[in-house]
Amino acid sequence: MMKNPEMAENMNPFIKGIAKLSESRFEEFVLRHMELQGHCGEDAYLKYFGTACNGRGIMELPVEGSYDVEIIDAWEMTRETVLRGVSGKAEVKLPGKPGMAMLAKKVG
């Protein structure tokens, strides 16, 4: 729900559409497109994409250290290491289906 309509003329059309949603539709949108992420210090980072069908995943890792990145498929119950020894911005290709996660584990 847009509370300040004069801002609309400078908005990206996608953002403008989201801003026009009613409060209940906005909450539904956020819940449906939410990504969950967390970390355990700098030893491990996890990003879960929920029901989103992303074609790629991006994770910002510390520039110090080295990480191996796995893709976890929660539905198929599989894990695959897709990057080794990365730091900083890690980008991976995802299969575009729900239930996917990225896990980065510190290796050095």
The average confidence (pLDDT) of the chain is 85
This prediction has a pTM of 0.70
Contact (CB, 8 A) for 44 and 104: yes
pLDDT at 3: 57
- Structural domains in the chain, CATH included, are 1-33 (no CATH), 35-106 (2.60.40.3950)
pLDDT at 11: 67
Instruction: Determine which helix (DSSP H) or strand (DSSP E) holds 102, and give its type and residue range.
Output: strand 100-106
Cα 42 to its chain centre, rounded Å, is: 18
pLDDT in tens, 12-65: 776 777 777 888 887 776 666 667 788 888 999 999 998 888 899 999 999 999
Once rounded to an integer, what is the mean pLDDT over residues 100-108? Answer: 93
Quickly count: other Cβ atoms within 10 Å of residue 27's Cβ: 11
- DSSP string computed for 53-81: --SEEEEE--SSS-EEEEEEETTTTEEEE
